[in-house]
Structure 1
Amino acid sequence: MPQPDQDQKVIAAVSDGIGSLTLNRPSSINALDHDMVGLMVESLNAWADDPQVRAVLVSGAGPRGLCAGGDIVAIHRDAAALAGTDDAAATASGSAEFWRDEYRLNADIAEYPKPYIALMDGIVMGGGVGISAHANTRVVTDRTRLAMPEVGIGLVPDVGGTWLLAHVPDQLGTYVALTSAPLDGADAIACGVADHYMPAEQLDAFRAALAAGTVEQALADFAVTPPTSKLAAQREWIAAAFAADSVREIVANCRAAGHDDVADTIESKSPTALSVTLAALRAAAGESSLREALVREYRTSVRCLQHPDLAEGIRAQVIDKDRTPTWRPSTLAEVGADTVAGFAAPLAADLELTY
């Protein structure tokens, strides 16, 4: 069998019945780009009907994490050029083309016909959530730091993130989306976005067990009871505060409950992205499938390219790193209902995400 190319952005290999996909950009915490999505699609399609592959294992190269998200610098370049343009221009961009294929991959992962084991070790953010949290076998560790931090850069949770978070009980998903709070492994299991917990030091032994036996036996041998979730311990006040129908009400509820720190954190994010995110979560709760949610998320992501907050948020957080974005508008009170609704409005038929 030919040896995999170690210089590939995604290293694909088959051994002992396990198809391994290793995201291989450790210097950027394995941030996804369009080429990587294509490589994943190619391998997953080939392995779906391959009798020599009984399970797929997805992990990240290097010690820092599975995947830090999408190629944010490329998105910044498009957002800076596309602010104020129309749907046709935005959907023709490289970012929109990337999202189309990425979201299709997310949907396919959710329906994969074989065990798809995602090792959600270390940092798992944005697009990293999309290639792992929709899996049928999701493993977190004591090093896991999972987050959907989009509202902090003027974006709205995507890759099926609104679908996942909308179905977390007691408004914990709403809390995660509006605060960008990172989840540890125990939190991820409590929120239902992961299934199994094991110490990171056991991952190599777990890999060996997968090669030697069944997925079920390997999990039985190495998965352990997770620690108590600190986030879940706060579910009572979060459930009450985050059930409101507007972000302004949620902020007021947080302050009334004595959680000024949470209110301040929310108010530091893009007012537009926050408002659209809350509407997206409420919409996702009533949708019938992940695929339906991804169609809506694609519309929203395209509209974010046309809004000035996305370029400004990435500039402040990633490019210049001054952490002082100038949001437009600057307050939640200035974000109108028509603006929010416009983000999820249907695109022209030839511009929509299709499968």
Structure 2
Amino acid sequence: MDQTLIKLLGHSFHLIILYYGTLRLLSELGFPATGLLFALGILAIVYYFRVPAPNPKDVEAILGKDMTDLPTIDKKTPEYLEVVAHRGAGIDAPENTLAAFKNCKENNCNYIEFDVSMTADNVPVVFHDRTTGRLADQNLEINKTNWATLKKLNLSIKHPKRERFPRTTISTLEETVTHLLATGQKMFIDVKHKDPRLIKVILDIYEKYPQLYTNALVTSFFATIIYRIRRRNPKIVAAVAWSPEVIYYASKVAYEGGPWYSKLYLRLADIIHEWLLPRFTYFLVGFSVLLLHKYSVNVKSVYDWKQRGVRVIAWTVNHATDKRYCVEALMIPYLTDTFEENASNPALDADVPKEYLTY
């Protein structure tokens, strides 16, 4: 029998035995209110292991004032965050490159979201995909290739604006951080993959550059990664990103295929994750921002998360009407791939796995 199936069956039996066995034992001992005790037990565990959220003033130092707290929005004052350049606005310039970040500065965008991955020789680099084929002329796996090889790739070669950016290359995390600190641009550092090496990388970069405490936040689709980072350094301001079926589409199963039970397991994990996020996860992890997919954002979701002390930022918003809706109706910031109105990029719209486009 497939080893994955054996493990899944084992976990299922453990949960069944733990749940029903515990309730039966408590009932035999004369405790009829087992449901209440079970709930209190979960609450006690979550409270014990939680990482408190940072002081709201520390969050404001990075993001500025919350738009929903402002009586009016004055376009002439930079006291609130409106636009974050997703991968450095990858439609306007080759994504996640220093050239893209410079282009953002020229467009008066001072908030940059970029992705961090690890090379085979443990160099943290700024890159989104698992492989380089979507952007470069060679298809190499980032975590199986040395930095000496990766830094030679030209990331402009497939970009529609390659005439303006004839050659751009992958940069290291440190090169990116020092560049953005020098230009006064603030950072959304996205831990892209569930790679435990990246936890130490993030902790080390904050220790080396303490300015990041007021100039950056760390984000990931994996709340467990954010928890492990903040558990060791609660001063780090963090965000969790979410969209429907995020666990499924962040896995290899989504684009490489896999057995039906693996897909079922991931679908169930998404249902549980969605249920836990506003009930336990935010309290346990202590994240300050929720990056919420644009199709899941509405007035109620913004209001509900605000009651928990969590700001909402929509992603990824590229059309002018959607941008106005976020800022003027919902009064929340948004991540965007472009500063142009209704632009598109063949490199982003190509027939490639969904996780390349959104996660």
Q: Which has the larger radius of gyration?
A: 2
Compare the two structures and name the one with the higher helix fraction: 1
